[in-house]
């Protein structure tokens, strides 16, 4: 019950409070407090990371470039590979557009966070060590009465780093190495922990040095691989952009065809990816060598641009260009394809026939038709086509194992109403309306109304599209309880609704996360995705771990003092091994909740201190315009 409650609470937190606060904060700074700071400061940000203004005598530990690299090492990770794929799987290609919007708004949020993080950072008088972040600017900027809010942020950051920063990353990296290279989980965990320990024991200086080498390299390699595929398939890019823009406002390729799903998934995955609003990046940027806090805000604003608009777009372009979205993301299971020629498996009423002559495939990116004969209805009465014994499970020693999670089929229909009935023998389990006006009608099991997920891909009259009938809990429970290994699908065309053609029917499961990204790269170069993406996952996961360890230790030091730093580092290293060898659903859900809750105190803090950000920015840009800052290159 506790696990179920935590999982549900995570969903609620990340859907509404986090998404809403991040959107509001980005809009507030972009349009009101710092009008289009993303655009106005972009050129100067490039000058700053080039080292043109780096003064080695300023206080701090790392350069602007190293600070940006350290922050990016936490954000450029699995969110860019798996997160984008999840957004497209559930929200359709249109989710990418909303990721761009949030990435753009997030640039202003990062500016505010990291300006404040550097301005209010804490310096140890004995060692000269500097640390900063939301817990410091909340306390120093808003006063001691806000210290409980700062402590709440620190607790969430310290705990959240163990799960999302260590366990989840090592779990995914070790899983990828096991699946694609057969490396034992424990071996991967120990190697990751050893490498991590060598880096983080050296503190932020070592982290900055390593991150400044790993992050640019891995970003360049990953984006180069994606750009190479785009260049070789450049004729498809206009359709990719067209699909993103049209789906962003229609939701045609989203699960259930909901525009709200498109927006929520785009916003949520962008926030997961670039962390604008979490306040975490302010911790890394606060260690920079500078006497001008606004400079680090300017540098930090590049983070969401690189992370979301460049790297995420690279992943999204390959997935969409491969055609593996919507119903076409489904991976067919061997032996489940239906032959419409079989007289024992297919029962047709008058008006149905089998034909190899089909309308042309209407998409450059997706293939909706097979080389096999298709079923076609051209009659005038009620058309009935029954597909018998569609394999959905296997049974051995009384144990039922599902084959996939649904059935996909392509469809080319005329005007009118169509529907499909899912049956076990003559018992109807669910009914789905495939008519022109309603692609996700209510479905039923017995007398109970239930929801059955459906995925559609460009299903419009007189064009090829695809449907997936994805079995819900009611159908899967029926299969398990009754030992059912096959179901019947009965297709109906209402009177006068033809012509209607059905092709490419097969059982399977949706690709999701990393598996979808791997399949997309493999679509263009067989085997390339398996090697390339798996290695990218390893590098991205490692880079995320090294920076989140610093975030967590900074939060722990704020709460308990400097004596706990080394203890925290070693515990963090141990959790990397635990994450690699264990299923950690509860731990990861709990720590995801902690990270999501970081948004609340951080957003309140930067909104209350927004006038301070504006004042500092105005002063800095005035001096910059009048040539008052010395350059060193």
CA nearest 582: which of 269, 201, 195, 162?
162
Question: What does each C-alpha distance from 285 to 61, 294, 402 come to in angstroms?
Answer: 10, 11, 49
Identify the helix (H) or strand (E) that includes residue 418.
Answer: strand 418-424
Q: What is the pLDDT of residue 444?
A: 31
pLDDT in tens, 273-293: 777 888 988 998 888 888 899
**In the predicted model, is pLDDT for residue 145 greater than 90?**
yes
**345: Cα within 13 Å, side-chain hemisphere:** 14
**In the predicted model, is pLDDT for residue 223 greater than 90?**
no
Mean pLDDT of 292-298: 92
Calpha distance 405→418 (Å, rounded): 23
Q: What is the pLDDT of residue 483?
A: 87
pLDDT in tens, 304-320: 898 888 888 888 899 99
Average pLDDT in the chain: 82
Mean pLDDT of 211-219: 70
**Interacting residues of 466 by C-beta distance below 8 A, sequence separation 6+:** 326, 327, 328, 366, 368, 408, 409, 410, 411, 456, 457, 458, 459, 504
Q: What is the pLDDT of residue 449?
A: 35
**In the predicted model, is pLDDT for residue 60 greater than 70?**
no
Residue 307 φ/ψ, nearest 5 degrees: -70, -50
Q: What is the pLDDT of residue 448?
A: 35
Which H, E and C letters describe 97-121, residue by residue? HHHHHHHHHHHHHHHHHHHHHHHCC
Q: What is the pLDDT of residue 441?
A: 34
**Interacting residues of 57 by C-beta distance below 8 A, sequence separation 6+:** none
Q: How confident is the model at residue 586 (pLDDT cuts 50, 70, 90)?
A: low
SS3 437: coil
pLDDT in tens, 82-109: 778 877 877 778 888 888 988 899 999 9
Question: What does each C-alpha distance from 187 to 177, 191, 577 come to in angstroms?
Answer: 10, 6, 9
Q: How confident is the model at residue 263 (pLDDT cuts 50, 70, 90)?
A: confident
Calpha distance 271→275 (Å, rounded): 5
**More confidently predicted of 537 and 40:** 40
How, if at all, do strands 352-355 and 330-332 pair?
Answer: unpaired
Four-point Cα dihedral 277, 279, 285, 290, nearest 10: 90
**Interacting residues of 230 by C-beta distance below 8 A, sequence separation 6+:** 237, 317, 318, 321
How, if at all, do strands 443-445 and 418-424 pair?
Answer: unpaired
Residue 20 φ/ψ, nearest 5 degrees: -65, -45
Calpha distance 361→20 (Å, rounded): 41
Mean pLDDT of 326-335: 81
- Across 143-157, 162-176, 428-442, 482-496, least confident range: 428-442
Q: What is the pLDDT of residue 184?
A: 92
Calpha distance 68→73 (Å, rounded): 8
pTM for the full predicted model: 0.82
- Percentage with pLDDT > 90 across the chain: 21
Residue 356 φ/ψ, nearest 5 degrees: -95, -10
Could you tell me if residue 335 is left (phi over 0), alpha (psi between -120 and 50 degrees) or otherwise beta? left
DSSP state of 504: E
Find out whether the peptide bond into 499 is cis, omega within 30 degrees of 0. yes
Q: What is the pLDDT of residue 176?
A: 79
**More confidently predicted of 536 and 491:** 491
Mean pLDDT of 326-349: 80
Q: What is the pLDDT of residue 222?
A: 75
**More confidently predicted of 222 and 588:** 222
**384 CB neighbour count, 10 Å cutoff:** 18
Question: What does each C-alpha distance from 210 to 10, 83, 277, 435 come to in angstroms?
Answer: 33, 25, 25, 57
pLDDT in tens, 359-368: 888 777 888 8
Burial class, 421, CB count within 10 angstroms (exposed 0-12 / middle 13-18 / buried 19+): middle
Token digits of residue 479: 């299969």
**In the predicted model, is pLDDT for residue 561 greater than 80?**
yes
CB 617 within 8 A of CB 297: yes
**In the predicted model, is pLDDT for residue 128 greater than 80?**
no
**In the predicted model, is pLDDT for residue 585 greater than 60?**
yes
Q: How confident is the model at residue 608 (pLDDT cuts 50, 70, 90)?
A: very high
**In the predicted model, is pLDDT for residue 622 greater than 90?**
yes
Q: How confident is the model at residue 584 (pLDDT cuts 50, 70, 90)?
A: low
pLDDT in tens, 443-469: 333 333 333 445 555 567 888 888 888
- Percentage with pLDDT > 70 across the chain: 88
Mean pLDDT of 527-545: 79
Calpha distance 520→512 (Å, rounded): 11
**200 CB neighbour count, 10 Å cutoff:** 25
Identify the helix (H) or strand (E) that includes residue 42.
Answer: helix 42-49
- Diameter of the chain measured on Cα atoms: 91
pLDDT in tens, 22-47: 889 999 999 999 999 999 999 999 98
Cα three-residue angle 272-278-281, rounded to 5 degrees: 95
Calpha distance 153→113 (Å, rounded): 14
Mean pLDDT of 581-597: 74
CB 374 within 8 A of CB 501: yes
Q: How confident is the model at residue 53 (pLDDT cuts 50, 70, 90)?
A: confident
Could you tell me if residue 389 is left (phi over 0), alpha (psi between -120 and 50 degrees) or otherwise beta? left
Q: What is the pLDDT of residue 70?
A: 66
Calpha distance 219→492 (Å, rounded): 51
- Which residues lie across from 408 on neighbouring strands? 468, 506
Tokens 């995914």 belong to which residue? Answer: 172
Calpha distance 125→504 (Å, rounded): 71
Q: How confident is the model at residue 158 (pLDDT cuts 50, 70, 90)?
A: very high
SS3 484: coil
pLDDT in tens, 168-181: 888 878 887 887 78
Tell how far CA 498 is from the center of its chain. Answer: 40
Mean pLDDT of 3-11: 75
CB 387 within 8 A of CB 480: no
SS3 509: strand
Four-point Cα dihedral 43, 121, 61, 292, nearest 10: 40
Domains (ranges, CATH) in the chain? 51-324+517-625 (1.20.1740.10), 330-510 (2.60.120)
């Amino acid at each position: 019950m506790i696990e179920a409650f935590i999982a549900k609470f995570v969903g609620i937190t990340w859907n509404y409070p986090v998404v809403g606060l991040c959107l509001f904060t980005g809009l507030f700074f972009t349009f009101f407090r710092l009008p289009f700071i993303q655009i106005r400061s972009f050129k100067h940000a490039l000058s700053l990371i080039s080292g043109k203004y780096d003064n080695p005598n300023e206080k701090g530990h790392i350069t602007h470039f190293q600070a940006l690299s350290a922050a990016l090492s936490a954000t450029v990770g699995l969110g860019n590979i798996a997160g984008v794929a999840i957004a497209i799987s559930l929200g359709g290609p249109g989710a990418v557009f909303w990721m761009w919007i949030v990435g753009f708004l997030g640039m202003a949020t990062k500016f505010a966070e990291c300006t404040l993080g550097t301005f209010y950072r804490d310096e140890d008088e004995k060692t000269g060590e500097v640390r900063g972040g939301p817990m410091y600017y909340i306390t120093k900027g808003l006063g001691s009465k806000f210290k409980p809010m700062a402590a709440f942020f620190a607790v969430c950051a310290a705990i959240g780093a163990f799960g999302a920063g260590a366990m989840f990353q090592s779990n995914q990296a070790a899983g990828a190495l096991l699946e694609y290279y057969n490396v034992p989980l424990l071996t991967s965990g120990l190697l990751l922990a050893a490498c991590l320990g060598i880096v983080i024991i050296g503190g932020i200086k070592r982290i900055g040095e390593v991150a400044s080498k790993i992050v640019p390299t891995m970003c360049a390699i990953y984006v180069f691989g994606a750009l190479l595929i785009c260049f070789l398939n450049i004729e498809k890019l206009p359709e990719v952009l067209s699909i993103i823009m049209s789906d962003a406002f229609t939701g045609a390729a989203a699960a259930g065809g909901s525009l709200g799903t498109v927006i929520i998934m785009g916003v949520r995955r962008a926030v997961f990816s670039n962390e604008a609003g979490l306040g975490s990046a302010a911790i890394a940027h606060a260690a920079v060598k500078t006497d001008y806090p606004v400079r680090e805000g300017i540098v930090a604003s590049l983070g969401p641009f690189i992370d979301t608009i460049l790297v995420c777009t690279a992943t999204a372009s390959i997935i969409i260009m491969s055609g593996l979205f919507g119903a076409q993301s489904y991976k067919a299971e061997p032996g489940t394809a239906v032959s419409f020629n079989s007289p024992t498996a297919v029962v047709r009423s008058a008006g149905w026939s089998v034909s190899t002559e089909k309308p042309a495939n209407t998409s450059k990116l997706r293939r909706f038709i097979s080389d096999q004969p298709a079923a076609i209805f051209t009659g005038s009465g009620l058309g009935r086509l029954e597909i018998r014994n569609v394999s959905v499970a296997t049974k051995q020693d009384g144990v039922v194992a599902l084959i996939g999670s649904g059935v996909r089929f392509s469809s080319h229909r005329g005007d009118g109403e169509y529907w499909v009935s899912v049956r076990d023998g003559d018992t109807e389990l669910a009914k789905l309306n495939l008519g022109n006006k309603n692609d996700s009608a209510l479905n039923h099991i017995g007398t109970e109304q239930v929801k059955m997920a459906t995925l559609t891909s460009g299903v419009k009259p007189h064009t090829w599209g695809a449907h997936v009938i994805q079995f819900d809990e009611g159908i899967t429970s029926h299969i398990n309880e009754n030992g059912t290994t096959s179901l019947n699908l009965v297709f109906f065309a209402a009177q006068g609704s033809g012509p209607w053609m059905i092709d490419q029917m097969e059982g399977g499961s949706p690709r999701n996360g990393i598996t979808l990204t791997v399949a997309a790269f493999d679509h263009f170069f067989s085997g390339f995705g398996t090697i390339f993406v798996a290695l990218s996952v390893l590098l991205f996961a490692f880079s995320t771990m090294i920076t989140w360890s610093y975030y967590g230790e900074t939060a722990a030091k704020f709460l308990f003092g400097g004596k706990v730093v080394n203890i925290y580092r070693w515990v963090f290293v141990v959790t990397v091994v635990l994450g690699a060898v264990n299923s950690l659903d509860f731990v990861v859900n709990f720590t995801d909740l902690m990270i999501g809750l970081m948004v609340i105190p951080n957003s309140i803090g930067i909104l209350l201190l927004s006038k301070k950000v504006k004042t500092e920015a105005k002063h800095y840009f005035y001096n910059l315009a009048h040539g008052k800052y010395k350059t060193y290159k």
